[in-house]
């Protein structure tokens, strides 16, 4: 990888700017670049590096932007004596395969509450590639022993959330020990530009929390964007099953498979604003 491409990949990972890395992984015959040549393509079409130029590079850049949008890698094959290459005079007589993979930093996941369900969410979420932060006001629960590898914060929950610089696009799961703590956490989170905000609890509990937030003037559209009741409906009962259902939903949102909260939950929230 050229130094310029390497620096660009690192910078994209650090800043969270969406991009995709295009790499020549196989060649045959005469090609303008060798195996290992790389090009980084940003969401807006800017590029760093080259895989040889010409129409096939433009085509690969277009596929890279599609990979960014869909958050899915793909393989592309080019025969450099075909019409695509001929249009730009690059008739080399060879073939090459390029691998296109989105470049994304590990998403931040904030667990608000450090109880039994949070332990299970943490276990599955770390395995799924989330960068974990755990917040609770109880040192007995929020500990490195219970959450190895996580950024553990022991503080008053609403105070910390009010002052915290939670990055835009972060995932936040509210799983505190009680309705009051849930409400206080949601009050501080509801206006944040988060990629995912989920609240644990029954429909009745969610309705009470949303009623209280609405009474304080919470925007109906913000409430409608909350994933609650949280997690995919897999019939989960135990903390491990609930944790699995929550992380499955997080992964589905991250991959673009779920764009909106559950239909049933959305209907519940809509009824609160009538």
Identify which has the larger pLDDT, 272 or 100: 100
What is the arrangement of strands in the sheet containing 74-79, beginning at the earlier edge strand?
47-49, 38-42, 19-28, 95-103, 74-79
106 pLDDT band, cuts 50/70/90, is: confident
Q: Nearest Cα to 226, choosing from 245, 242, 203, 243?
A: 203
**pLDDT tens-digit readout, 64-96:** 999 988 878 899 998 876 554 445 444 556 788
| pLDDT per position as a tens digit, 12-44 | 888 878 899 999 999 888 777 889 999 999 999
Looking at residue 69, its pLDDT comes to: 85
Using CA atoms, how far apart are residues 109 and 198, in angstroms rounded to an integer?
11
pLDDT at 268 over 70: no
CA-nearest of 183, 258, 185, 182 to 225 is 258
State both tokens at 58: 């433009």
Global pTM? 0.70
CA distance 198 to 85: 49
Bridging pattern class, strands 74-79 and 38-42: unpaired
Which tens digits make up the pLDDT trace of 161-172?
A: 999 999 888 999
Return the CATH fold of 108-272.
Rossmann fold (3.40.50)
pLDDT at residue 140, as a whole number: 94
Q: Domain-by-domain residue ranges, the chain?
A: 3-103, 108-272
């Amino acid at each position: 990888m050229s130094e310029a491409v390497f620096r660009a990949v690192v910078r994209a990972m650090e800043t969270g700017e969406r991009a995709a890395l295009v790499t020549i992984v196989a060649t045959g015959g005469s090609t303008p670049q060798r195996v290992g040549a790389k090009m980084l393509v940003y969401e807006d079409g800017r590029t760093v590096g080259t895989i040889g130029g010409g129409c096939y590079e433009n085509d690969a850049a277009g596929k890279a932007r599609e990979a960014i949008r869909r958050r899915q890698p793909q393989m592309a094959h080019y025969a450099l004596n075909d019409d695509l290459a001929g249009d730009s005079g690059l008739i080399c007589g060879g073939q090459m395969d390029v691998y296109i993979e989105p470049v994304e930093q590990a998403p931040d996941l904030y667990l608000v509450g450090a109880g039994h369900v949070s332990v299970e969410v943490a276990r599955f979420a770390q395995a799924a590639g989330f960068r974990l932060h755990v917040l609770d006001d109880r040192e007995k629960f929020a500990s490195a022993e219970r959450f190895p590898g996580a950024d553990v914060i022991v503080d008053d929950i609403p105070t910390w959330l009010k002052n915290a610089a939670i990055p835009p696009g972060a995932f936040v799961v509210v799983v505190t020990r009680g309705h009051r703590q849930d409400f206080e956490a949601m009050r501080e989170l509801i206006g944040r530009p988060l990629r995912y905000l989920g609240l644990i609890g029954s429909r009745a509990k969610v309705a009470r929390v949303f009623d209280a937030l609405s009474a304080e003037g919470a925007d109906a559209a913000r409430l409608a964007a909350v994933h609650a009741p949280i997690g995919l409906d897999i019939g989960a009962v135990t903390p491990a099953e609930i944790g699995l259902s929550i992380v499955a939903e997080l992964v589905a949102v991250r991959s673009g498979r779920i764009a909106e909260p559950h239909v049933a939950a959305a209907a519940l929230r809509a009824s609160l604003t009538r």
